[in-house]
Structure 1
Amino acid sequence: MRLANKALVIIGGTSGIGLAAAQAFIKEGAKLILIGLKESAHSTLDELSSPSVEVIFADARMPETAQSGINRCIERYGDFHGLYHVAGGSGRRFGDGPLHQMTLEAWNQTLELNLTSLMLSNQAALKTLVELEHGGSILNLGSILAFSPSPKYFVTHAYAAAKAAIEGMTISSAAFYAEKNIRLNVLAPALVESPMSQRAMTNDEIMAFSRSKMPLDGGRVGRPDDLTEAAIFLLSDASKFTTGQVLHIDGGWHLSEGQNP
């Protein structure tokens, strides 16, 4: 089992990509603390009843959330080895969109949801791993929109800015903490089945575009389990010589022109 005896915290682990990762990590022997919002928790969470899993309902945007989860991980399992930050989401409901139309409130809310929450979790994880002195791994969820935009169908400029900043912060942190044997990497998916993607997945025009933009495996939308194998690798000892990487799991998105229907 590739994550045997690893004590990990998943921020955003109660639904979507994070919950799919949790299910896979358990099979690989991990001991988990899952943190997420109660109102967004998926019913599948009830199936994770295990002495190797504990769920904490809390908001990742709050300064104390990540550190409390990490402290609980150490209290329950005796150690802490890594963090997977999945929490985030579209800023459309705040007014994120084209830059000339965006309000300052929309900008601030979107960055708080996607970037500030991640900064707080990474900061807490790094402080703890430095104190523990045994190294570890931090994995952050980015987005293909950080560098490969879709100006017609996915116009959320604050979201793109946040995801690009995640790459910059992760890479610069990876350089700084490498000598302490702490690794930081990013997974950058394109469109993946999740609560956040329902707007796109229920729009026939966007789905027709998506099939040409992500041509791999029949032009389908990504599934949460498309990310889990990479996440397992980057949180396990198999990746002990890998840091500062951005892995695009995007079905070929960044290689394709995409055809507007």
Structure 2
Amino acid sequence: MENWLSNKSIVVVGGTTGLGFSAAKAFVNHGANVVVVGRNPESCLMAEVDLGYQARAKQGDATQPQTALDAIQLCIREFGSFDGLYHVAGGSGRKYGDGPLHELTLDGWNTTLNLNLTAMMLSNQAAIRTFLGMNRGGVILNMGSVLGNSPSPLHFTTHAYAAAKAAVVGFSKSTAAYYAKNNIRINVLAPALVDTPMAQRAAQDETIKEFIKTKQPLDGGRIGLATDLDGAAVYFMSDFARFTTGQVLNVDGGWSIAEGQY
């Protein structure tokens, strides 16, 4: 396999499980050094073992201002460089009170935006400040969702989450425009339903599984796998994407262009 990421050192916030961990493995396989950040100490330990000598894991809460900065500094200390940030951390606010607008609680709103938007702003800010401080370019990839621009009113009605993921796009485009002159690239990956720890409610629901057969019709009509996003993540972090910024790539099995039959 060609090493697309040789000599790159990348921080993955939310990189110890699910989409982030899968991408971290792909980054390592393509020659990168990686620092993964996760909230759970056990998953951090397992990730570091699984990823091998090219990786370090750091426990931390992405909603705290120091977390991403500490991970970036660890990356520079351990690997001598910091080339890219992949922000994956986030998740459903359903258990905190997210839902349809008429049922949405203020705590659900605030918690969901904190998890999915504020955490991303903090990691992006830490990366930008570091790139500017080193007087060099770099790359940021943020995790969006098709729900930010392609709603599913019957099965996926978390309006704070949809708002947060739409805001990820607006934030990423705005910052991409501003920092392009510094050769800093900022892009977004937007998946549909992927089989991750966060998505188990939907992934195990028989009605939703039937819906997904026509809503994500590619490859026989199925729920996505974490590995389905790895190629796109590797591309955006690599020099092959050196002339690409402010873009949103839906890796969604056809969700955003399919009608989906109830």
Q: Deviation per CA, 1:26-49, whole angstroms, max 9, x where unpaired?
A: 110100110001167288626425
Counterpart CA distance in 2 for 1:161 and 1:41 is 29
SS at the partner of 2:150?
coil
Displacement, 1:169? 0.3
Q: Given the two structures, how large is their TM-score scaled by the length of structure 2?
A: 0.97
Displacement, 1:52? 1.2
- Equivalenced residue count is 260
Kept after mapping to 1: 8 A contact 2:48/2:55 = no
Corresponding residue to 2:207 among 202, 205, 208: 205
Q: Could you list the runs of 5+ residues in structure 1 that have no partner in the other structure?
A: none
Kept after mapping to 2: 8 A contact 1:8/1:32 = yes
Aligned residue number for residue 253 of structure 1:
255
Aligned residue number for residue 33 of structure 1:
35
Displacement, 1:101? 1.0
Q: CA 1:222/1:241 → structure 2, altered by over 3 Å: closer, same or farther? A: same
Corresponding residue to 1:187 among 186, 189, 192: 189
Kept after mapping to 1: 8 A contact 2:17/2:43 = yes
Aligned residue number for residue 230 of structure 2:
228
Displacement, 1:51? 2.3
Counterpart CA distance in 1 for 2:129 and 2:49 is 32
Aligned residue number for residue 73 of structure 2:
71
SS at the partner of 1:173?
helix
Matched, 1:53 2:55: yes
Counterpart CA distance in 2 for 1:40 and 1:116 is 25
Displacement, 1:100? 1.3
Corresponding residue to 1:87 among 89, 98, 117: 89
Aligned residue number for residue 115 of structure 1:
117
Q: Deviation per CA, 1:150-189, whole angstroms, max 9, x where unpaired?
A: 0010000000000000000000000000000000000000
Q: Given the two structures, how large is their TM-score scaled by the length of structure 1?
A: 0.97
Counterpart CA distance in 1 for 2:73 and 2:44 is 25
Counterpart CA distance in 2 for 1:40 and 1:94 is 24
Question: Could you tell me which amino acid in structure 1 is paired with residue 86 of structure 2?
Answer: Y
Aligned residue number for residue 179 of structure 2:
177
Aligned residue number for residue 215 of structure 1:
217
Work out the percentage of aligned pairs sharing the same amino acid. 52
Counterpart CA distance in 1 for 2:175 and 2:151 is 25
Q: Could you list the runs of 5+ residues in structure 2 that have no partner in the other structure?
A: none
SS at the partner of 2:129?
helix
Kept after mapping to 2: 8 A contact 1:5/1:29 = yes
Q: CA 1:98/1:49 → structure 2, altered by over 3 Å: closer, same or farther? A: closer
Counterpart CA distance in 2 for 1:98 and 1:40 is 34
Kept after mapping to 2: 8 A contact 1:15/1:40 = no
Q: CA 1:175/1:110 → structure 2, altered by over 3 Å: closer, same or farther? A: same
Kept after mapping to 1: 8 A contact 2:45/2:57 = no
Counterpart CA distance in 2 for 1:34 and 1:117 is 15
Counterpart CA distance in 2 for 1:42 and 1:198 is 21
Counterpart CA distance in 1 for 2:240 and 2:230 is 14
Corresponding residue to 2:157 among 155, 159, 166: 155
SS at the partner of 2:65?
coil
Question: Could you tell me which amino acid in structure 2 is paired with residue 250 of structure 1?
Answer: D
Counterpart CA distance in 2 for 1:187 and 1:49 is 23
Question: Could you tell me which amino acid in structure 2 is paired with residue 143 of structure 1?
Answer: S
SS at the partner of 1:154?
coil
Counterpart CA distance in 1 for 2:84 and 2:115 is 21
Question: Could you tell me which amino acid in structure 2 is paired with residue 66 of structure 1?
Answer: A
Kept after mapping to 2: 8 A contact 1:14/1:40 = no
Displacement, 1:253? 0.4
